[in-house]
Amino acid sequence: MPGDPLAPTHPRPSRLPWVLAGAGAIAVMVALFLLLDPFGGEELSRADFLSQGDEICVEARDAFTELQGQTPATAREAVDLTDQLIGISEDEQDELSELNGPSELDEAMDAYLSRREEGIDELHRGLDAAEADDGQAYASAQAKVAAQQLERLDLARAVGFTECSRPLVERAELARQAKPPSGSDPSAPPTVANPPGFPSSGEN
């Protein structure tokens, strides 16, 4: 009787090695999943959450203060300084966002982070204006950041932070900085005495 032309000419390989390999890969993936902990880890206590948040803000403020000691000698250096200050603000924002605090603080924390994000957006607008030598737009962005500072402070206090969004100047000076610009030369670049980046009010 002739053989079946569709029949395999070699013994069928065992599926067992593939099954074992697949099981091993799944085990590795599960281990990595647990190790990386995509859900943010164990929830912090209220005290630990606030303590770690304040520590993040203090570190950012210290970095702000250190950079402000490097007085720029040119408009290009002033723009570079602004870029570094924005980087500090964004790193601080990311670290605060990654804290896994008690759920009862979520609403207050979301409001605070949202307002901080608006301030960082203004910093970017100020940087863009400085790079374009648009003095009017730069001064306007600077005033908006200063005007929002006390609101950020209130929102930080609503969460329970004591170090976050503390102004680096007195309230009277902050109020002065918050006044909209008037008659600024739109072609004037940032000056050495008043570089972009809003270091006096800060975004921390």
Q: Does a structural domain hold residue 72?
A: yes
Mean pLDDT of the chain: 74
In a domain, 200, yes or no: no
Task: Give the pLDDT score at 141.
Answer: 82
pLDDT at position 90? 95
Considering the domain boundaries, does residue 173 fall inside one? yes
Residue 195 in domain: no
Q: Is the predicted pLDDT of residue 57 greater than 90, yes or no?
A: yes
Q: Which tokens sit at 123?
A: 């910093």
Q: Of 93, 118, 101, 91, which is closest to residue 159 (Cα–Cα)?
A: 101
DSSP annotation of 105? G
- Given a cut of 70, is residue 115 above it in pLDDT? yes
Residue 8 falls inside a structural domain = no
Q: Which amino acid is at 199?
A: P
Residue 198 falls within a domain, yes or no? no
Determine the average pLDDT of the residues in 91-104.
96
Average pLDDT rounded to a whole number, residues 93-101: 96
- Ranking 77-86, 154-163, 178-187 by mean pLDDT, the lowest is 178-187
**Count of residues in the chain:** 204
Which residue did the predictor score with more confidence, 155 or 186? 155
Identify whether 190 is part of a domain. no
Range of the domain at 98: 46-177
**Domain count of the chain?**
1
pTM (whole model) above 0.85: no
pLDDT exceeds cutoff 80 at 28: no
Per mean pLDDT, which range of 9-18, 35-44, 49-58, 143-152 is the poorest? 9-18
Q: Find out whether 177 and 201 touch, Cβ atoms under 8 Å.
A: yes
Tokens read off for 105: 């603080």
* Mean pLDDT value of segment 66-70: 76
Check if the beta carbon of residue 152 is closer than 8 Å to that of residue 119.
Answer: yes
In a domain, 1, yes or no: no
**Res. 33 pLDDT band, cuts 50 70 90:** very low
